[in-house]
Amino acid sequence: MRLLLICCVFTVITASAEESLPQFTARQLSDPSYLAEGRAVWHSQCRHCHGRSAYPGKAPHLKPSTYQPDWVYDRVTNGFRKMPAWRDIFTQRQRESVTVYIMSEEFQP
At its nearest, how many Å lie between ligand HEC and the CB of residue 90? 7
At its nearest, how many Å lie between ligand HEC and the CB of residue 35? 14
Residue 29 as a binder of ligand HEC (CB under 6 A): the answer is no
Picking from 30, 16, 14, 29, the residue whose alpha carbon sits closest to that of residue 73 is 29
Residue whose CB is less far from ligand HEC, 5 or 97: 97
CA distance 41 to 33: 12
With b meaning 16 or more CB within 10 Å and e meaning fewer, what string describes 39-57?
A: bebbeebbbeebbeeeeee
At its nearest, how many Å lie between ligand HEC and the CB of residue 48? 6
Residues near ligand HEC (CB under 6 A)? 41, 45-46, 49-50, 59-60, 62-63, 72, 75-76, 80-84, 86, 98
